[in-house]
Amino acid sequence: MTCEQCQDVATVHLTRSINGERREVHLCASCARKSGLSPREKTPDLGLDAVVQSLIVSHVGELVGELANLTCPECQLKYMEFRARGRLGCPHDYRIFARGLGPLLNRAHGATRHVGKVARIRPDAAERLRLRAQLREAVLHEDYELAARLRDQLRLKGADA
């Protein structure tokens, strides 16, 4: 069927009732639009993909792909778990997730460097955190011999402190 107005292929067909008289109307898309009858050709692109992307970036940070796979070797926390729950797993996470945390700290505090009271430096504290992580692993794998050795090491180190 052809359009009543321009002889193009008619894609809009409707029945009008004028003064009780039924009349069929056949128009092509373009002529139908001109007479205010047809919806626009296709759903406009609302740019939703870009919106979603920018939401992810603003909430999760630019390095999402790379960061998502980061896991802290000491406490086994994944960066994405931190993003979901908002809590870090151990002091070491601040170093492991530094790239993700930087922009976040800047947003929350307007700064990325500590000013103020300084704690005493305890050089073996990080080592003890590592030993404890190994101890957790050993207990998890029921390697009690290793666990006992690690406990001894922690005790020895504790005696030095």
Partner 1 sequence: MNLDELTRSSGEWLRGTGPESDIVMCSRIRLARNLAEFPFTNRASRTEKSEIESSIRSAMQRANLELVYFDVNALPPLDRQFLVERQLISRELAAGEGPRGVAVGPLENIAIMVNEEDHLRIQVMLSGMALHDVWERINRLDDQLEEHLAYAFSTQLGYLTACPTNVGTGIRVGVMLHLPALAQTKQMEKVFRALQKINLAVRGLYGEGTQAFGDFYQISNQQTLGKSEPELIRILTDVVPQVIQYERTARQALMNEKRQHLHDQVSRAYGVLKTAHTISSEETMLLLSSVRLGINLGLIDDLEIATINELFIQTQPAYLQKIQGSELGVEERNVARASYLRSRLSNGRHVEPD
Question: Based on CB atoms, which residue is closest to partner 1, 36 or 110?
Answer: 110
Question: Based on CB atoms, which residue is closest to partner 1, 10 or 88?
Answer: 88
- Minimum distance from CB of 34 to partner 1 (Å)? 51
Binding positions for partner 1, rule: CB under 8 A: 74-75, 77, 85-91, 94-95, 101, 104-105, 108-122, 125-126, 128-129, 131-133, 136, 161
Task: For the beta carbon of residue 93, count every other beta carbon within 10 angstroms.
Answer: 20
- Minimum distance from CB of 106 to partner 1 (Å)? 9
Question: Based on CB atoms, which residue is closest to partner 1, 14 or 126?
Answer: 126
- Minimum distance from CB of 27 to partner 1 (Å)? 56
- Minimum distance from CB of 64 to partner 1 (Å)? 17
Question: Based on CB atoms, which residue is closest to partner 1, 34 or 95?
Answer: 95
Question: Based on CB atoms, which residue is closest to partner 1, 39 or 91?
Answer: 91
- Minimum distance from CB of 125 to partner 1 (Å)? 3
DSSP symbols for the chain: -B-TTT-SB--EEEEEEETTEEEEEEE-HHHHHHTT-S--SS-----HHHHHHHHHHHHH-TTHHHHHT-B-TTT--BHHHHHHH---SSTTHHHHTHHHHHHHHHHHHS-SS--S--PPP-TTHHHHHHHHHHHHHHHHTT-HHHHHHHHHHHHHHHHH-
